[in-house]
Amino acid sequence: MRDFPSCFGESGVQVADASSNSSKTSQNLVTCLYSTQLCGRSYVITITWTKNMMGQGLSIGIDDSSNQSLCKVDIKPWLFSKRKGSKSTEAENNRVDIFWDLSNAKFGSGPEPLEGFYVTVLFDFQIVLLLGDLVKEAYRKANAGPPPSNAMFIAKREHIFGKKVYCTKAQFCDNGQIHDIVIECDTVGLKDPNLEIRIDKKRVMQVKRLLWKFRGNQTILVDGLPVEVFWDVHNWLFDASMGSAVFMFQTCVSTEKSLLWGSSQRFREPQLRGTSFSLILYAWKNE
């Protein structure tokens, strides 16, 4: 994996670009991170949704607060012929149970289900993460009640594709509105390309003279919250064969703004405090 350190202002953000040797079709995945507390300890649960010719895939990993991997469960695409099931494993001598049902799940263009599903993670028979809208079914299958505290959605990484328009959806705070995000940038044959970002059809950011400002950051407001937007479109402008452009949207509530995306494909947030959410988008140009 080719890392490029990008120091945007005081935030010192570093992200790793997707491998230039990887097929773009293999990058159809979405990775979500959730922070949870259990018995006074902090854990990060990583959910990765994938989509390929074999079908939908899912992997679940649990890390401790020092970013040490405690366990990982892969639900391979060909197992989705039945689209539901369960797996059990151990982490730090504690039992971990995972239940999922995607038999009636509805998907959009990406690998992440939209509705009609549940994924439940239990730690010592206690629910620590519940995804999906089939809540009652999940409680019944897990033989457990509502979790004592909800896991916090802290980060998401996604690959998006387009020619000059790139679209996705994001929720910047717990129980907040789901927003439509559109990134538009036409670089073909233009002497002075510019970058525009719209949220819910409203333009919130425009970068002119992009040849000189191919990396940068700017703060916008979403749901009344300041959100810092970082961009790196160097590959689009100067070497399209090297991979994607990278965008990051980060709510500016945390006291620790440094966020790393390591070669292990996991976010690492040293001493991350407060309510903070980060969205990293790898934007690939369709040929």
Give pLDDT tens digits for 197-237: 999 999 999 999 999 999 999 999 988 889 999 999 999 88
Do residues 184 and 174 make contact, with C-beta atoms less than 8 angstroms apart? no
Does the pLDDT at position 125 exceed 60? yes
Does 13 score more than 70 pLDDT?
Answer: no
pLDDT score for 79: 63
Structure tokens at 106: 């509805």
The bridge status of strand 69-75 relative to strand 215-222 is unpaired
The confidence band for 165, taking pLDDT boundaries of 50, 70 and 90, is: very high
The pair of structure tokens assigned to 142 is 């897990």
Task: Please give the angle made by the CA atoms of 142, 67 and 119, to the nearest 5 degrees.
Answer: 20
- Which are the contacts of 39, defined by CB distance < 8 A and separation ≥ 6? none
Q: What mean pLDDT is predicted for residues 157-172? A: 90
Is residue 85 within 8 Å of residue 103, measured between CB atoms?
Answer: no
β-bridge pairing 215-222 and 278-285:
unpaired
Across the chain, what does the average pLDDT equal?
A: 79
| Res. 178: pLDDT tops 80 | yes
Q: Element (H or E) spanning 141, and its range?
A: helix 135-142
Give the total residue count for the chain. 287
Sign of the CA dihedral running 102, 152, 218, 282? negative
Q: What is the pLDDT of residue 3?
A: 32
- pLDDT of the residue at 253: 56
Q: How, if at all, do strands 3-5 and 14-16 pair?
A: antiparallel
- What are the residue ranges spanned by the domains of the chain? 3-26+160-285, 27-153
d(CA 56, CA 77): 5
Sheet containing 225-232: which strands, arranged edge to edge? 69-75, 55-64, 41-52, 29-38, 152-162, 278-285, 245-251, 225-232, 215-222
- Give yes or no for residue 20 having a pLDDT over 90: no
User: CA 129, 154, 148 angle in degrees (round to 5)?
Assistant: 35
pLDDT at 84: 87
248-271: per-residue pLDDT in tens?
999 875 444 444 433 333 334 433
206: left (phi over 0), alpha (psi -120 to 50) or beta: beta
Give the per-residue pLDDT at 273. 41
| Predicted TM-score (pTM) of this structure | 0.79
Q: What is the pLDDT of residue 2?
A: 30
Report the amino acid identity of residue 164: K
| Cα Dmax for the chain | 62
Q: What is the pLDDT of residues 180-203, one digit of tens each?
A: 999 999 877 778 889 999 999 999
Other Cβ atoms within 10 Å of 107 Cβ, number: 16
Rounded CA gap, 231 and 280, in Å? 10
At 38-96, the pLDDT tens digits run: 777 888 999 999 987 777 889 999 998 788 888 888 887 776 666 888 999 888 788 89
Burial class (CB in 10 A: 0-12, 13-18, 19+), 121: buried
What is the pLDDT, as a whole number, of residue 28?
Answer: 81
